[in-house]
Amino acid sequence: MSVVITGASSGIGAALAELLAARRKSVVLVARGADALRTVAERCGANALPIAADVTRREDVRRIVAEALKRFGHIDVWVNNVGQGITRAPSQLTDDDIDAMMRVNVKSALYGMQEVLPHFKARNAGHVINISSMLGRIPYALPRTAYTAAKHFLNALTANFRDEVRQTHPGIQFSIVSPPVVRTNFGLNAVYGGVDSRSVADSQSAEDVAAVIAGVIESRAPDVYTRPGSHERVVRYFESVGADPTD
C-alpha cells in the first residue's frame, strides 16, 4: 500500500508516517521544510519518499502525484493533513486573514483531491482522508473563528466529493477525521500567535490521532472522531442552541 501524507514533517503527519512505515506501508512524505522532512523519512526507512513541496500551489500537488507514481506505481491513500490556525476575533478579521485560512486549510485539500482523482478513477480504487477538527463541527473557540469556518468548509467539500464520485466510482472513498486540540506546534504556529497546544487541558497526542487515522485507512469509515465522546459533545452543542443535529 502506498500512502501520501501532507504536512508530514512534524505532528500528526510525522506520527502517522512512522506508524504506517512500521506496518510496512510505503509512504510519500510531503512538507515545505526539506530538512525536517528528510529526518522523518530516515526514521521511516527505505520505503519512504520525501517530497519538499507547497501544497497550496496546485503545480506542486501535481508534481507530488507524478513523483509518487514514478516511485511506487500507484497511490492507494491520500491524507490531506496540512492546516494552520489563526488567533483573531471575528469582528477583526481582514480579507487577508480569510484568504490565508482558505488557502491553507481548504485549497490544499481541494488540490490534493482533484489531482489524485484521475488516478483513483482509472483504478476505481482509492481513499482520501481529510484531517478536519472538532472546530469543524462546533464553533467553541472564539479566537479561531476563521479556522473554524475553513474546517466547516472542508467538511462540506469532503462530503460533496464523496457524493459525486461514488455515483460512478464506488471504489473510491472520502473520509473526514476530526481530532480535538492535539499536542503539537499548531497553537504556536497560528497566524498572530497563540497558546501552546501542549498546555491545553484535555488535549490529545499526535500518536493517538495517528493510530485513529491508520484505523480509518483499514475501515474506510466516512466520518470519524479521534476521541470517545466527541459525537455526544456535538449533539449536546446543537441541543444547547435549539437545533436538532439529526434533522
Instruction: Give a yes or no: residue 21 inside a domain.
Output: yes
Instruction: Give a yes or no: residue 105 inside a domain.
Output: yes
Give residue 100's identity as a one-letter amino acid code.
Answer: A
pLDDT in tens, 117-165: 999 999 999 999 999 999 999 999 999 999 999 999 999 999 999 999 9
Closest CA to 2 of 49, 57, 43: 49
- Residue 87: what pLDDT? 97
Q: Which of 56-65, 116-125, 186-195 has the lowest mean pLDDT?
A: 186-195
pLDDT band at 98 (very low <50, low <70, confident <90, very high): very high
Residues in contact with 77: Cβ distance below 8 Å, sequence separation at least 6, in sequence order: 1, 2, 3, 4, 126, 127, 128, 129, 217
Strand order in the sheet with 48-52: 48-52, 26-31, 2-6, 77-80, 126-131, 172-178, 223-225
Domains in the chain, number: 1
Instruction: Give a yes or no: residue 217 inside a domain.
Output: yes
Q: What is the mean pLDDT of residues 67-93?
A: 98
Whether the pLDDT of residue 18 is over 90: the answer is: yes
Instruction: Give a yes or no: residue 247 inside a domain.
Output: no
Whether the pLDDT of residue 109 is over 90: the answer is: yes
Closest CA to 183 of 162, 199, 167: 199
Q: What is the mean pLDDT of residues 183-201?
A: 92
Q: Which residues of 114-144 are buried (b: 16+ CB within 10 A; e: fewer)?
A: ebbbebbeeeeebbbbbbbbbbbbbeeeebb
Q: What is the mean pLDDT of residues 182-210?
A: 93
Closest CA to 172 of 240, 111, 117: 117
pLDDT in tens, 28-40: 999 999 999 999 9
Instruction: Give a yes or no: residue 89 inside a domain.
Output: yes
Whether the pLDDT of residue 224 is over 60: the answer is: yes
pLDDT band at 201 (very low <50, low <70, confident <90, very high): confident
* Helix axes of 108-123 and 145-166: crossing angle, nearest 10 degrees: 10
- Residue 242: what pLDDT? 84
Q: Which residues are catalytic?
A: 147
Cell of 175: 473520509
C-beta of residue 12 within 8 angstroms of C-beta of residue 197: no
Residue numbers of the domain that contains 69: 2-240
What does the mean pLDDT of the chain come to?
Answer: 96
- Residue 96: what pLDDT? 98
Rounded distance between C-alpha atoms, residue 10 and residue 1, angstroms: 22
Instruction: Give a yes or no: residue 246 inside a domain.
Output: no
Instruction: Give a yes or no: residue 245 inside a domain.
Output: no
- Residue 110: what pLDDT? 98
CATH number at residue 91: 3.40.50.720
